Structure 1
Amino acid sequence: MAAAPLSLTVVILTRDEERHIGRALASIKPLASRVVVVDSGSSDGTREVARGMGAELFERRWLNYADQFQWALDHCGIDTDWTMRLDADEWLGADLVTALLALLPTLGPDTTAISLDRQHHFMGRWIRHGGRWPLALLRIWRTGMGRIEQRWMDEHIVVEHGALRHVPGTFVDQNEHGLGYFTAKHNGYATREALDALIGNYGLFDVPEDAGLASTAQAQRARVHKTGWYNRLPTGLGPLLYFLYRYFIQLGFLDGRAGMIYHVLQGFWYRFLVDAKRVELEQAIAHAPDKEARIDALSAATGHDLRGFHRASPKAVSEVEGEQPLPLR
């Protein structure tokens, strides 16, 4: 007899994810007692697929991932014991589902968060080298104890206290779109990462420091390296050194042809694009006389609403006056 689903709510953000959402929902069906999908205006069949597979649907305009996800945590009435973050193009294997079903009910109150090892699949190949696996991510936490960092890019779930338990098993990031989608997505990522860097460098907003909160040690180390010595290197040198380290020292070349394409694009081209966008945005604010003018210049240059995102505390950032969740029937 199959085990009953856990007291667990899975939160998934979507926009035009018809290709992936069914796979994600099918993989967590034995695990979760509730699934919340927050859609930001899909024009394909995403909402119909999600509704047909039993997910609860909400709709809200998109600002960025952190804002949207925190809004879901704050406004969708999550009252299960546990909450999980899952992207629409991710899925869980039966081995991990079985492990979680057995483990979570046995955990004492001191364990407040669960990390998982995510595999990244690219062009039909599991990328095992170049520091890309195992990649431990905090993805499950006791409801009410976790929040998402309010950053434009590279946002993590953080839990303020308690013990972090790691659960091995099959957890896969597998986007079925092609290279055009990949490069367009990373172009947007680069803009947002450059924004985070300039916001920090110029002190444009009071961004809370989350280093002391519970997260995976791997994520903390990566953040320290990126905001420390890496961002101080001359333009282009950091991406080159990072790629060489990743491809040769961390054995990325063992991932074959698909791996070569992935490591060059994600390990060098993307990192170089972030550097280039930082230069471009520095130029955009070069003649701004004060902080307010810099904020206006960055918003105009990127099309992102900086004031709208940073107007409130991380916990309340998405609590727009008069805005209520809109369940889709």
Structure 2
Amino acid sequence: MSLSISTIILTYNEEQHIERCIKNAQRFSESIFLVDSYSSDKTVEVAESLGAKVYQNKWENNYAKQFNWGLENLPITTEWVFRLDADEYLMNDLILEIKNKIPQLERDISGVVFERKMYFLDTLMTKGMLQMNMLRLFKYGHGFCEERWMDEHIILTKGESVLFNGYFVDHNLNPLGWWIQKHNNYSIREAVDLLDLEFNLLKPKTQQAEQYALSADAESKRNKKKKYANMPLFWRSFIYFLYRYIFKFGFTQGKEGFLWHFLQGWWYRTLVDAKIYEIKKASGTDLEKIKLYILEKYNINL
């Protein structure tokens, strides 16, 4: 049984993931749309062979902008929209929960939050993890994707959200070298987010985003991230690793657990701090110099 849900998947060269993703989404979706950034592999061919509808749009190095383009331009006719990445899929219990609970939700519920869990080296990371709850299902016309450089979230413009019990997983099949390169690219975006908390570099790009920036929810999220941002460079990544690996029992998952918490919890966040240090060393606290440096060295126009 499919519900009145359209699933939107952003893709670029996702040939090895897209079949698994679409077949999973077909179990709970009425329509599946790909917003593809002109893939050069068989992503589009595989998607269309499975019945997904593919639309092309140029990638502008901004996930939120691409997703919001989809909301504005895709021929969505369903009541609900699900945001799903190509390397993600829902567990069976969550699919059943969606089918059972969505028809019975109160009218003022416009969004549904799910827990996301991570696979690393084909191992589900269950120890040392902070619970990641994400709003991924929302009523069409009642939400948009917040435009941030990292950790973009769906923001509700109407109604309330509810948390379901089941979870979905991020299970990327690419090799470790790909993961390292991806996180190297992510690190400058995360650095921009942390610099924005310190210097207020960025202004909301849309009226909706501006209104959300003033909301209590946005303020709560900023305050949580500020606690980390206010800690000393480099020490904070080390402390975060110890917290996850020792105090949250990450060490109980063997070599995969060590590599995950070391690389994602310490190495990646140290790399973020190194780029912040580099930028401040070159630019001081001059906001225009910071923006110019990031543009010239990292091709990111703030």
TM-score (norm 1): 0.83
> How much does 1:214 deviate?
6.0
> How much does 1:199 deviate?
3.4
SS in structure 2 opposite 1:229? helix
> How much does 1:90 deviate?
0.3
**2:77 equivalent to 1:79:** yes
Tell me the equivalent position of 2:124.
126
Deviation per residue, 1:23-67 (Å, 9 max, x gap): 010011121111111111211111111111111111112121111
Instruction: Check whether the contact 2:294–2:301 (CA below 8 A) recurs between aligned residues.
Output: no
Instruction: Check whether the contact 1:162–1:214 (CA below 8 A) recurs between aligned residues.
Output: no
Tell me the equivalent position of 1:22.
19
Tell me the equivalent position of 2:207.
none
**2:246 equivalent to 1:248:** yes
Residue 246 to residue 259, structure 1, CA distance change in 2 (3 Å): same
Taking the aligned partners of 2:144 and 2:48, their CA distance within structure 1 comes to 26
Taking the aligned partners of 1:126 and 1:301, their CA distance within structure 2 comes to 36
Taking the aligned partners of 1:287 and 1:30, their CA distance within structure 2 comes to 51
> How much does 1:75 deviate?
1.7
> How much does 1:161 deviate?
4.0
Taking the aligned partners of 1:145 and 1:118, their CA distance within structure 2 comes to 22
Q: Output aligned runs, 1:278-289, within 5 Å.
A: 278-286=276-284
**2:215 equivalent to 1:212:** yes
Instruction: Check whether the contact 1:160–1:214 (CA below 8 A) recurs between aligned residues.
Output: no
SS in structure 2 opposite 1:10? strand
Instruction: Check whether the contact 1:27–1:94 (CA below 8 A) recurs between aligned residues.
Output: no
Taking the aligned partners of 1:211 and 1:104, their CA distance within structure 2 comes to 30
> How much does 1:169 deviate?
2.4
**2:223 equivalent to 1:224:** yes
Tell me the equivalent position of 1:165.
162
Tell me the equivalent position of 2:64.
66
Deviates more, 1:265-274 or 1:94-103: 94-103
Counterpart residue type for residue 102 of structure 2: L
Larger helix fraction of residues: 2
Deviation per residue, 1:146-172 (Å, 9 max, x gap): 111110111111113423222222411
> How much does 1:235 deviate?
1.7
Instruction: Check whether the contact 2:291–2:301 (CA below 8 A) recurs between aligned residues.
Output: no
SS in structure 2 opposite 1:36? strand
Residue in structure 1 matching 2:183, options 176, 183, 186 = 186
SS in structure 2 opposite 1:62? coil
> How much does 1:137 deviate?
1.3
Taking the aligned partners of 1:119 and 1:200, their CA distance within structure 2 comes to 27
- Alignment length, in residue pairs? 295
Instruction: Check whether the contact 1:113–1:142 (CA below 8 A) recurs between aligned residues.
Output: yes
Structure 1, unaligned runs of 5 or more: 307-329
Tell me the equivalent position of 1:47.
44
Instruction: Check whether the contact 2:197–2:229 (CA below 8 A) recurs between aligned residues.
Output: no
Tell me the equivalent position of 1:143.
140
Instruction: Check whether the contact 1:159–1:213 (CA below 8 A) recurs between aligned residues.
Output: no
Counterpart residue type for residue 297 of structure 1: Y
> How much does 1:261 deviate?
0.4
**Identical counterparts, % of pairs:** 36
Taking the aligned partners of 1:286 and 1:9, their CA distance within structure 2 comes to 47
Task: Please tell me the root mean square deviation across aligned C-alpha atoms, in Å.
Answer: 2.1
Taking the aligned partners of 1:279 and 1:44, their CA distance within structure 2 comes to 38
Instruction: Check whether the contact 1:21–1:50 (CA below 8 A) recurs between aligned residues.
Output: yes
Deviation per residue, 1:58-91 (Å, 9 max, x gap): 1112121111111111221323100111010001
Counterpart residue type for residue 247 of structure 2: I
Instruction: Check whether the contact 2:111–2:135 (CA below 8 A) recurs between aligned residues.
Output: yes
Deviation per residue, 1:94-129 (Å, 9 max, x gap): 322222112111212111111112221111211001
Deviation per residue, 1:238-269 (Å, 9 max, x gap): 00111101111111112221111001000000
Counterpart residue type for residue 83 of structure 1: V
Taking the aligned partners of 1:95 and 1:149, their CA distance within structure 2 comes to 29
Taking the aligned partners of 2:292 and 2:128, their CA distance within structure 1 comes to 39
Counterpart residue type for residue 9 of structure 2: I
Taking the aligned partners of 2:147 and 2:123, their CA distance within structure 1 comes to 32
Structure 2, unaligned runs of 5 or more: 205-209
Tell me the equivalent position of 1:38.
35
Counterpart residue type for residue 102 of structure 1: N
Q: Output aligned runs, 1:98-137, within 5 Å.
A: 98-132=96-130, 134-137=131-134
Instruction: Check whether the contact 1:211–1:220 (CA below 8 A) recurs between aligned residues.
Output: no
